[in-house]
Amino acid sequence: MNLRENVRLAPYTTLELGGPARYFVECASESEVRAALAHAAAHELPVFVLGGGSNVVFADEGFRGLVLHVAIGRDQGIAFGERDAAAPEISAGAGADWDTLVRGAVERGWTGVECLSGIPGSVGGTPIQNVGAYGQEIAETLVRVTCLDRATLERRTFTARECEFGYRDSRFKRRDRGRYVVLDVTLQLRRDTPPRVRYPELRDAVTRAGSLDAAAPADAVRLVRQTVLALRRSKSMVLDAADPNARSAGSFFMNPVLSRAAFAELEQRWHSTGGAGAIPSFAAGDAVKVPAAWLVERAGFVKGYRRGGAGVSGRHALALVNLGGTSAELLALAEAIRAGVKGRFGITLECEPEVVR
């Protein structure tokens, strides 16, 4: 175990923010994770488990315990199943790069994760919030997740059903929050199956780029990936060192899902306070999903808004960007936005990234 001291956390996050970890250990195997957890328990150190760093804000003061960086399978840690299988499997260590997995699946012409192209972060983070985009989510292809119980050091495997997935949600965010370290993930994809493009924004963009109907399934999958990457790039939602808007944690706020009664109240409030036009909304079962970006902009925090060293991305109102400032500045901006949305609409936005103090 290579235990290091006072390691700056900023380079391990896509926001590039955060002070030092008192202790930091990179774990490339299950046994290293076990050793790190045992060490932390013996020394009564709080532990933070870090994956790809795409969904975390570390405080400027850093973290006074042990940061356990999961690097299992980071190098060559993705096992692609038989090319010819009808339902090929992919297994990957938690530390493997998510988009490398997606690229490998798409290169093989396999269907099931193409809409999840270009999402920053590691494989191990994907089941936690049931990562999804453009009408597809990991719950549709995941078959198992192997985890290590942080307290008992027992191994446990969960099926997709046992993960209790919901919209950007799973048991790992709720009743088992903080309990497990994800070790590896197995997905099952499909071969010779046309991709389903349900999301209108994506469907329109794919149609402009080429014809899905005329394409063989493997080519259609590639076209969808290319289109998703282009869409994400246009919103600065892919990692790009040259793009100042990309120094973010992706979406900073969850899209609120309201009961029909709460949505009616929201509409009433919007119109009675001079709001013009309809509030964009989408059915989510019996409830209504409202784009958080719309609320943020209507509360006055428009794209490109800047406050000190933090700002709202010039390309997407849901992404907060580090403009050379501090975590404190970024979190202050997040709080100002939450207060603004609460004041204007009566809705409390939930932050998506984990804030670690």
The side-by-side arrangement of strands in the sheet containing 287-289 is: 257-258, 287-289, 282-284
Q: Does 318 sit near ligand NAP (CB under 6 A)?
A: yes
Residue 12, SS3? Answer: helix
Structure tokens at 342: 């609460």
Backbone angles phi, psi at 151, to 5 degrees: -85, -45
Q: Is 168 a catalytic residue?
A: yes
Instruction: Give the per-residue contact string, 52-91, with ligand NAP (x = CB under 6 A; - = no).
Output: ----------------------------------------
Q: Quick one: 126 or 322, whose CB is closer to ligand NAP?
A: 126
Within 155-194, the residues that bind ligand NAP by CB under 6 A are 168
Instruction: Give the per-residue contact string, 187-226, with ligand NAP (x = CB under 6 A; - = no).
Output: ------------xxx-------------------------
CA distance 81 to 103: 14
Q: Quick one: 80 or 199, whose CB is closer to ligand NAP?
A: 199
Instruction: Give the per-residue contact string, 278-317, with ligand NAP (x = CB under 6 A; - = no).
Output: ----x------x-x-x------------------------
Within 225-244, the residues that bind ligand NAP by CB under 6 A are 235
| DSSP track, 222-284 | HHHHHHHHHHHHHTT-S--TT-GGGSB-S--BPPPEE-HHHHHHHHHHHHHTT--SPPP-EEE
> Helices 98-107 and 217-234: crossing angle, nearest 10°?
150
Q: How far is the CB of 134 from ligand NAP (least distance, A)?
A: 5
Q: Quick one: 101 or 293, whose CB is closer to ligand NAP?
A: 293
Backbone angles phi, psi at 24, to 5 degrees: -145, 130
Instruction: Give the per-residue contact string, 98-137, with ligand NAP (x = CB under 6 A; - = no).
Output: -------------------------------x-xxxx---
Quickly list H helices, the chain. 30-42, 98-107, 200-209, 217-234, 260-272, 292-298, 327-345
| Dihedral angle of Cα 108, 112, 114, 118, to the nearest 10 degrees | -110
Q: Is 201 a catalytic residue?
A: no
Q: Quick one: 168 or 303, whose CB is closer to ligand NAP?
A: 168
CA distance 316 to 331: 18
Where do contacts with ligand NAP occur on this chain (CB under 6 A)? 129, 131-134, 168, 199-201, 235, 250-251, 255, 282, 289, 291, 293, 318, 352
Q: Which residues are catalytic?
A: 168, 251, 352
